[in-house]
Structure formats: C-alpha cells, structure tokens
Amino acid sequence: MTPATITTAVGILVGAWLVALVVLRGRRRWLRATYAACGLAFLVMGVGFVGIEEGFLDPAREDIVLGTMLLAYALTAILVVGLIHGETLPRGRAAGFLLLAPIPFLAYLAPSEGWTMQTAYEGNLLGGYLVLCLGLALAETVYARLTSRLYAAQSFWLSLGVVALIVGGPIYTYELQALALPITAGANFATPLALAAFALVTLQADPVPASTRLARSRWSGPSALRGGEPIVFEETRPKYAVRAATMEAARGRPTMVIARTSPPLTTSGLVTGTILPNRHAALRLLTTASEFLADHPGGLVVLTGFADVVAMSGRLRTFEAAIRLKHVCKDTRSTAVFSTSRLSDSERRSLKDLRLTWWSLPDPAREIEAILSQSFGSGAPHLLEAFCRAHGLRHEDVSTDHVPAVIAFLQRTVAELTGAVEGGAGHGLKVQVEAASSVLRAFADQDASEASRGRWPSRRPAEADRELLVTAAEYWKGKEMEELFAAADAVGDREPLYEKARAVFVEELGDAGEGVLRTQIARLGKKPEDLEKGDIVRIADRASVDLATLADVVDLPKEKDRLQRQVDEIRLRLERIVREDA
C-alpha cells in the first residue's frame, strides 16, 4: 500500500465514524440525511480510489468514482447552505437542491468529452461545476461570517471544512500537476477534517430534545394568535405566554413551550423543550423552534426562556434568532411568542426596535387586586394577601388560573361574615361578591389578544369605583370597610389547613396531588380536619423525602430536575403557610 492509499483508508474509517455519529445523534431529519449522503459520497469516492490504486477495483469503474465525486461536492454545498439556513430547509431553500440537477447530464457527457478523474479539475464544464460547488459553499460561509453574529462560530468551522476540501482537492491536484507527479485522482485527503467540521456544526446547532413527539401535521383553525408572525408578549412574568400555550394546545394546535426549566405540569398535547446552558443556546433555540414549525406548519412556539437565552448567548445573537424565526413563521403560517419577562429595560427597547408585533399585557395579580378594589375599596389588598397566605402563594405568583380559587375564597369569607351581620348588609355583601366574581371571571376569560387592547381593570377611571364604593358603604350602614375586611382577613386565616395544603399539592402535582397529600395524612394517623401546624411541617418533610426518592428513581435528567423543583416548591409553599399561620 502507498502512503496515499493508507491515508485515504484511515480517512474512510474516520469519515464512517462521523457519519454514524451524526446519524445517531442528530435531531434534524433533513440535515442528518444530507450529511449522511454527503459523507457516504466522500466515503465511496475514497473506497474507489483505494480500490483502483490497490488493484481490487476495475479501473474501468472510474466513472462511478467520478459520479460520486460530483455528488460529494454538490452535497457539500447543499449541506453548508443547510447548516447556515437550516431553519428554512427544505421549504425556503429547496432551490439549493437544484444544484444536483446537472450531475446526470455531466455524467452522461463525461465519456464522450473524455473527462476523467485525472482531468476533473481542469478548465472544462466538469471542473467548472466542481469549482462552483466549492465556491458556493465557501461564499456562503464567508457571507455568514461577515453578516451574522448567530452563525459566527459555526461559519468559522464551516470555512475551515470547505477550505480544507479546496486545498485537499483542486489545489493539491494542481500542485501535483505542476510538479509533474502522479495525480491521486478521486481522493480528497481533507475529507475527515471537513466531515469533522461539518459534524461539529451539525451537533452544535441541534434542537433541544422535546418532551413528547407529535405526529407531523399541518394545522389550521380558529385561534387567538394569528399565524404568520411572531408576537412579543410584554409582561413581567410569562403568565399570559404560558396560558396562551395551554389554550392553543387545548384547541388541538401543535404547541411547543421552550423554557429554561421544564414546566411543573404539562398539558396534554403540549410539547416542551428545555434550554440547556450552552453558548450556542440562541442557535439551538432557533433550530428547535424552526424544526417544530417545519414539522407542524400553522403551529405555535412559545419562548418563555427568551431572557435566559439572552444571558447565555448575548443580546445580538438572540435577537438575530428572533428575526430568523420571524421568517420561519411567515413561511409556515405559524406563530412564535416571545415573552419579555426578565429582559432588562434596554433589551426590551432593542427588541421593540425589531418592529415585531407587540402586545403589552397586564399583571394578573395587579388586575385582580384592582377588581377587588372596585368592589371592596381599600380592603382589597388585605383580601388578596389573605388569599395568598392561605394558598402559600406570593403576590406576584397570582395568575388568572387562580381566579376560581379567589372567587371560592371570597365566597367562603363572605359566608362567614354574613352570619355576623344582619339583613340588608349581608345581602349587600353577597351582591358585591357576586359583582366582583363576575368581573373576575370576565377578566380571567380574556385571552392575551383581548387583554392587549389595554382595557385593564387597573386603568379604569376612578370615578366609577367611587360610585361603587359609596354603594358598598351604604350596605354596611356606616361600618368602616377597613374593619370589615380586617375581619375577612381573619376568616381567610381560619381556612382549614387541609384545604391550604391540598391547594398546594394540586397546583404543583395536578389531580394526583390530593392523593399524595391524603397518603401523607394517613401515615400521620390523622384525619384531614384534625391537621395542625406541626403536622404540616411533618408533611412537608415527609413529602420532600418521598418525592425526592421518586425523583432519584427517574432516570431522565429533565424529568428528575422537574420533579425536584416541584418538591422544592411544595416544601417552600407549605413552609410559607405554616410561617404565615404562626
């Protein structure tokens, strides 16, 4: 064997390993297939060279090697374009595949024109085609390097791979020709290096794993979020973004939530993706979203972890990913939702400069308080505070999902109070609660689109409230509202501990939460109505241990992480209930 054939044979082995790696580890179907096709073409080319050189392949079969050479370089260009514009393949960049069209024509002409492996890079139609393929790939990487922050690192590695192929192919052949040495036609010694560079970029930009896999389908139907554009949800916490995802998934729309941590509860039909700490987080965010939308045109992607990606990859890269995602949305008639939660003011302003559809949304906690204020005046903050205490919630965690619980709390509180007051006052209070409940329900029923119109309870003119307050005060026949709602506060505190604990378990673990709590209570040998503060502490400890053990058993890191966070949250909220109760 000659040094050239040994080098090529080693390159074949390395190339085969790289192809296997990408096929097994890659998550983008089209790129995986393109990489495999490109890699295999180079491998066949190498095997052909070794076979002819070592004499176990008929030299007459050189035409096959020439054909795979054409295929390999054309696929290199397509692969490079795909790695840079992967989010629009194959839909937007299908024209790239036209590069393969001349191959049958050139292969047909090769025998009659006398094109061989040795003369492949000469100034003829065949050589021109090969140079065009490599030139296209190089131009694309250089352009990406100059214009894109998002692909800066990737374009470096792609440039390295393409330049290596140029040096190992045409330049090396010209060199041998100039030195009058035998031409090692059909082999490109830089193949392993180029395939390694392409594999690195393929894996760096791989989408994050999804929680579940939905069947590929196109979706169309009524939706609160119109398709074909990204929408920015300007909100302090991603409450409306998550709610929109849940509601759209319930309508049957393919929906994916991409967050920094997996959500505690997953709605049926909702796909979740967790962003891992990585310098290429912005790129992976883009590829994850675009891959999902390519598989589910008309779908929805909600990015609640947008600010975390900015922290990981930087503002410019993340915003470029947002702009690229805008084009994906347009191509696929899909929707992407970006939540501005935890972005700094300057980042928020920069995002606004991108001129994406912008929806300013209210903070549900503040609006619920405003609604309560309209009915109950200055006692409302105390009322909401009492509700939060009873449910182990922080004020800022209250969302529209808590509205039914707030209404139930109000009704229980007022039922207690009306026993202590007489006639018209009790009736009046019930009317007020009904009025507040009705407004609360109407507010909770609003989707993000309606809420973004700005008719928020907190923005209502004060005059209307004043009128209501006078009426309420009249019902109470001169008693001070403050005193009455201080009493309501105390009623809230008297809510059975079981109910408070149950609310925590159900909110964190779903319907199964109540069963978990009852098991813990049974293990204490108590009945739900007999629970005391000390029992809550013990339940918190035991539940932490039991659920943490369960989390340890789970072998999926993402699920393990999710369970652990649920355990921590349950413990935190139970401790808060005990602390507030003390």
Partner 1 sequence: MASRLVTAAMRSVVLFLISVILVLGFWYHAEFYQIGLTNLAIVGGLVTFLVIAAARLAISGELPKGRPVGELTFTLDEGDRILRSIATLVVRPAEGASLPGVGQVVRAKYETGPEFGRLQIVDARRSYLSDLSEQDAREAGFRSALELRDAAAGRWTWRPTDVVTVLRIRRLGAGR
Which residues contact partner 1 by CB under 8 A?
Answer: 145, 152-153, 156-157, 159, 178-179, 236, 260, 277-279, 281, 307-308, 310-314, 342-347, 396
Closest to partner 1 by CB, 210 or 311 = 311
State the minimum distance, in angstroms, from the CB of residue 279 to partner 1.
Answer: 3
Report in angstroms how near the CB of residue 569 gets to partner 1 at its nearest. 10
Residue number with CB closer to partner 1 (341 or 437) = 341
Which residue's structure tokens are 């990859």? 313
CA 353 to chain CA centroid, nearest Å: 23
Q: Report the nearest approach of partner 1 to the CB of residue 163 (Å).
A: 8
Least distance between partner 1 and beta carbon 342 (Å): 4
Helix axes 152-166, 125-147, angle to 10 degrees: 160
Report the Cα 248 to chain-centroid distance in Å. Answer: 16
Give how far the C-alpha of residue 66 lies from the chain's centroid of Cα atoms, to the nearest Å. Answer: 44
> What are 32-37's contacts with CB under 8 Å, separation 24+?
32/202, 34/75, 34/78, 34/79, 34/82, 35/79, 35/198, 35/199, 35/202, 37/71, 37/75
Separation of alpha carbons 238 and 244, rounded Å: 10
Q: Would strands 300-303 and 335-339 be described as parallel, antiparallel, or unpaired?
A: parallel
**Amino acid symbol at 9:** A
135/269 with CB nearer partner 1: 135
Nearer to partner 1 (CB atom), residue 160 or residue 328: 160
Q: Which is nearer to partner 1, 280 or 402 (CB)?
A: 280
The alpha-helical segments, DSSP class H, found in 26-61 are: 29-54
Q: 312's torsion region: left (phi>0), alpha (psi -120 to 50) or beta? A: alpha
Question: What's the first-to-final CA gap in the chain, in angstroms?
Answer: 85
Q: In angstroms, give the least distance from the CB of 571 to partner 1.
A: 11
Residue 203 vs 435, nearer CB to partner 1: 203
Chain centre distance of CA 411: 39
Tell the smallest beta-carbon distance from residue 44 to partner 1 (Å). 31
For residue 225, what are the contacts with CB-CB under 8 A and spacing of at least 6?
231, 244, 248, 300, 335, 337, 448, 449
Least separation in angstroms between residue 313's CB and partner 1 is 6
Q: Of the two residues 173 and 255, which places its CB atom closer to partner 1 in the complex? A: 173
Residue the block writes with tokens 């070794």: 50
- Selection from 333, 361, 341, 359 nearest residue 232 by Cα: 359
Nearest-approach distance from CB 308 to partner 1, in angstroms? 5
Shortest Å, Cβ 480 to partner 1: 31
Which residues lie below 8 Å from residue 69, measured CB to CB, with a gap of 6+? 41, 45, 117, 120, 130, 186
Nearest to partner 1 of 145, 560 (CB atom)? 145
Closest to partner 1 by CB, 310 vs 398, is 310
